Structure 1
């Protein structure tokens, strides 16, 4: 699976799990995961500040363990929490996409 397809499918899972209405367009660039990360950092920062419960629910739906979430929240420096959470989210969604691709008939 090429990287562009992987980023698009990962984004669709993120969009569904977060209930986002915003639609991102992806090109054939090699930095599309960087763009997705920057987009997701903004979303996570907003939820950290305004709706922590919604963020925690999304993390649960994405299947990031409570233990990992606590660890990221406690061990990250103040300005790095959203970045570290965004990276964990993207990594987990990438794993899901690759697993589904592997076992797809």
Structure 2
């Protein structure tokens, strides 16, 4: 289970890394976020970029260090929609960054 505060930190990183307007996800309006809420928020952005600006999505995935090989592997192995697979990988990566930052800031 993911810590709601870590999820919110991950969403803040997502906003920054995807170069969205500050508070695009309206994070100030809510104290904690569930994994499912984060998933839906990120997936909306991913679906939009898949449809309208694929190069920007690829750039953002590169910027946040989502492995291209792991992404291709996950997309090939999954029957889920591509936006869902990409969203899972983004959340995984952002939560890992939050963990590292907490660990090394102590």
Runs (4+) of structure 1 exceeding 4 A deviation are: none
- What corresponds to 1:54 in structure 2? 56
| Equivalent residue, structure 2, for 1:35 | 37
RMSD: 1.8
* Pair 1:82 & 2:86 matched: no
- Within a 5 Å distance, the mapping from 1:1-105 to structure 2 comes to 3-21=3-21, 22-25=24-27, 26-28=30-32, 32-77=34-79, 80-105=81-106
Q: Distance in 2 between matches of 1:80 and 1:93?
A: 20
What is the TM-score with the length of structure 1 in the denominator? 0.84
TM-score (norm 2): 0.83
What is the total number of aligned residue pairs between the two structures? 101
Per the alignment, in what secondary structure is the counterpart of residue 31 of structure 2?
A: coil
Could you list the runs of 5+ residues in structure 1 that have no partner in the other structure? none
Structure 2: 5+ residue runs without aligned partners?
none
Q: Quick check: 1:13–1:93 contact (8 Å CA) kept in 2?
A: yes
Q: Contact 1:17–1:61 at 8 Å: present in 2 too?
A: yes
Shift of 1:65: 1.0
Shift of 1:61: 0.8
